[in-house]
Each structure stands twice: as C-alpha cells, then as structure tokens.
Chains A and B, each alone.
Chain A
Amino acid sequence: MSLVIKDLCARVKDGADILKGISLEIPKGQVHAVMGPNGSGKSTLSKVLCGHPDYEVTGGTAELDGQDLFSMSVDERSRAGLFLAFQYPVEVPGVTNANFLRAALQARLPQGETVDAVAFYKELRAKMKQLGMDAKFTARAVNEGFSGGEKKRNDILQMLMLQPSYAILDETDSGLDVDALRIVSDGVNAMRAPFRSFMVITHYKRLLDYIRPDVVHVLYRGRIVRTGGFELVERIEQEGFDFLKD
C-alpha cells in the first residue's frame, strides 16, 4: 500500500508547464521530505495531487492504494485518505471550525450514521489542547482573522481530527516560531504509524530535525533530481540549492 506517482506532468490551466515528469513512491509508514528552491514545483505537486482546479494534469498517473487519484473529485480524494496542510490555509467566513470539522467527519461516515456530538467535542478539545489552541477557537469562523501561525496550527488540528492515511504538509514550518514548530511537529510525530505516510514539503532543515524523514527528494525545475537520505538535507543546509545547477 502506497502513494505512487509516475511521470507526472502538470501545468497551470492554459499556462506554463510546471511539473515535467515526476515519479516517486511513498509506502505506508514512511515520511518523505520534498525539498527544492522557490518555483521548483513543490506546491504545485501538492495541489495537483489534491485536484486544485487551477492546474491540469498533462501526463502521468498517481495512485493512492491502487486507486486512480485523477479520476476522483477533490472531496473523494480527501475521503480516500489524502490530506493537504495548506501553505496558505484559506479563510472561510461565517463557517465555524466546529461545524466545518463535523461536516468533514460526517462525510466520512456511512449513510444513516451521524457524528456523536459529545464524543466529537471531547475529542476536538483534547486535540486543541495538544496543539496549544484556545477552546474558543471552536466557535470562530475557519481561519478568519487568524494569524499565520494560528492558521497553520488549525490545519494540523484538522489533520489530527480527520486521521488521513496520506498527509502532505506544504511548508507547514513557514510562519511558525520555535515553540509552535515544536508543538506542531510533536502533533505530526504522534500520528506517525505503520498505516500512515507523510510528504513533508519544506525549504529548511529545522522542520526535518523535528520530523525525521526516511527518504529525501529534491525537486528542481519540475523534476526530481536527487533522492537520498538525511545527508541531502545537510548538504542543502550548507550549500543551498546551487549544486543542483550542474
């Protein structure tokens, strides 16, 4: 069981090609880091996998536990176990965090079953506490008026609640101070399990010091140009991405 991407090509709708043939496999239980300079296609990769309407796939395949990802709608992919922690989580005015999460959980239940409100709130409060979030956030609209760090935390809260089998973290470390970074990383690490895998997209080593990856990929100009272990992270930290230019 794994997330398998083969020769994936994608572009901005009616625009430039961004992904130019990406292949990688993330088996269950592993954490893969994807690093690369700005504009290399990291965020595009995450959005394409989730089915963002601004992008179109021009070639290649992606399978989630053997299911064709690209034949599924955005919400079907989510319910199939794919989760994206957004680089810039979206504000949804007027929809409270609690209602939002309940709707998302409800959508995962078989027809006829409903979310148990008491259990839901109990779990929600516990997870919020784990992430150091104030209980009053439940009644606030999703991400509305949140600081950058609060939004990131809120996305991780959703991940803890929805328990995906494949989670993509898109630059979750940006905008987080050291304390918040540790709290968020602890939350992610607590979820690491043999039946779950992660794709951690980042520029920096500091997040990967907390969330140690099993495999590291380097994305450059729409292609994966290096795959290796933690030594790649250390090289990038010392030399930057310049060595890729050769």
Chain B
Amino acid sequence: MHASDHSTPQLPNRLCEDWRFGAPHRHAAALAQLMQGGTRRGSITVEGADDALGDWHVDDVRSIGSDALLALHQAAEGVGLYLQHDYAEPISITCETDGVFTPAVHIVARAGVHARIIERHICRGEHSAMVCARRIVAEDGAQISVELQEEGCGTSRVLNITDITARGACVRHLTTHANHEWAREETTAEALGNTADIQLFSANRLEGSQMLDQHTRQLHSNRGCASNLLYKNVLDGRATAVFAGNIYVAPGAHDTDAYQSNRNMLLSENATVHSLPGLEILADRVRCSHGSASAPMDAEQLFYLLSRGIPRHQAQLLVADGFLNDVFTRFRGE
C-alpha cells in the first residue's frame, strides 16, 4: 500500500510488495523491454456505440504497483465511450494484436444510463503482448456491466490496469483469461456517493505453466456503499494463481458493506496458489468479511457424478465448470 518515494517510478522488483509472488517481476521487465523497443501495433474496434473520438485519457489511472509500466504505456490508441442513453444491445469493444499493443479504454456512463459492454482482448502472435489501461466511470444511478474476455495464444503476456469509479452507480465487472503465458490484472474500484455498488468477478481455468497474477483494491471513501468480489480459479498442470486483494474503508466511510472471496480448486500436484485477501477498516458500522479457500476437487461431488456413470475425466470437467459457473451466474445477477 505504500507509494514509492521516488519521483520517477521504478520498474517492479522482487522487493515490491505488489510483485512478491511467483517471480512476476521478470515478466514486468520483459513487458517494459517490449514497450521500450519495437513498434506497437494492433487494432481497436467498437460496435454498438459511437467512439467519442479524442475524448479519452488514462493519465491518472491508478495502478497497483505498475506506475513504471503505466509511464511507458503512453497510450497511442484508445477508445472513449461516452454513454448518454440506455443501450438495449451489448456494446462490443475488441482490441487485437499480433505484436505489442498498448491500448486505452475509457468508458463513461452518465447518470441513469443502463448499458452492457463486452470487451475482448486478443493476442494472436507468438510472444505477443498487450498492456491496457482502462478507466470506467459510472455516474449517479447508472448501471453498467463490463465483461472482459482475455484470449491469448499460449506464449502471450498481458497486463490490464483497470480503474473503476462508481459514483452512486452500480458497476459489475467480470474478467476471464484463457491461454496466456502470463496475465496480470490490477483492478482499483472506488465506491463514491452514498449508494454505489461495485461487483467484481473473475473466473479462470489455468493449465500448463500459465500464471495469473491478480491484484484488487476495493476503496470505500464515502459512507453507505457496497462492494463485493468473487474470484475463482481452477488450476491444473504447473499453473500458478496469485490473488492479492485489499478492502480499504476510509475514516468516515461508515455503514460500508464490503466482501471479498477468493476460491481456488487445485487439480494437480504441481499447481500453486498464493492468496492474500487483505482488509483495512478505519470506519464504523462496517459489515465486512473476506474468505479464501484453496482445496482439491470435492471427493464426494466427484463420486456422485461417477456413481451416475459419468466417466472420470468428464466428471472432473463438469465439477470444475460448475465451480466456475457460479461466478457467471452471480455476475448476471441470477
């Protein structure tokens, strides 16, 4: 939580609290090198809404330990959505690259607007990389849901730095990752106004030597807001998942409801989970809890499926999918 004293941010190293587990700093170094080196290429397409051209900026996006990478980001391309009325159909944003790409996504939902955004990030080329700075702002009474789908090619690296502000609004945010060698998420979500409600979800299946490094902050600066987080992973092979979350309830942010839950299902003896769910509470009348559970697949569940004649491999898939489905169901608000 401690900001660096240096004026120019340093690249992450192992001593940084936010870059502590699973040796992620070497990926940070690789990303920095890619951004400093070759040309950046990629495309952004938007469907279902107008890109309010030029009206995006991500300079003040809050990172969780990646200020140095954000400084190198220098978003050359981006999309800015300024949502002023309800959208019946989902808006789609697609960022795609086969090299190194540093897009910016800026979504502002005006008061009362209802909208659903599906954002896809696709890395195609070998060793491709995407560093995306994202800012999502929802004003009074707005209700928006953003679904970020990350698709990699096995050797790709991605970093998403997301900054969500819900000002008396409701924001639901879901991320899923598939097939990246390394993926890192830094999600800062701030609830402002008296009735803001932020719901953060993530559901991932990791295998091979994939690594997912997720960092979240739920910031409660005003009283009476709610936030909820549910991040689930299924890990196979030599996969590693890091979850480092923090709920910060500022002095005076009384009557806050904040929850945080990280659940991991480990399917292989070589899979590793690091889970650091943190709480910092400085206010009164706060309802706050967090939980973290990492365990193998439930043997009784598996037995139940087997006893109905479903072959073991398929039974495992079903149970693992069921474990993650719970996240999608909650994201949809069912």
Contact = CB atoms under 8 A, between A and B. Distances in A.
Interface in A87-138: 89-95, 99-100, 103-104, 107-108
Contact of A75 (B311, B319, B325, B329): B311
B309 A84 contact: no
Given A93-B323, A94-B325, A103 B306 contact: no
Interface string B293-320: 0000001110111111111101100110
Given A94-B324, A95-B322, A141-B322, A78 B307 contact: yes
Nearest to B326: A94
Contacts of A141: 322, 325
B307 to A, nearest CB: 5
Contacts of A52: 303
Interface string A157-190: 0100010000000000000000000000000000
Contacts of A94: 321-326, 329
Contact of B310 (A50, A53, A107): A107
A99 B309 CA distance: 14
A73 B312 contact: yes
A108 B325 CA distance: 25
Chain B, interface size category, equals 20 to 34
A210 interface: no
Nearest to B313: A75
B319 A92 contact: yes
B297 to A, nearest CB: 11
A73 B306 contact: yes
Contacts of B314: 103, 107
A192 interface: no
Most chain B CB within a 10 A radius of its CB, from A50, A103, A108? A103
A129 to B, nearest CB: 21
Contact of B308 (A53, A91, A99, A104): A104
B331 to A, nearest CB: 13
A210 B314 CA distance: 37
B305 A50 contact: no
A86 interface: yes
A92 B322 contact: yes
Contacts of A92: 301, 304-305, 318-319, 322
Interface in B267-313: 299-301, 303-312
Interface string B54-67: 00000000000000
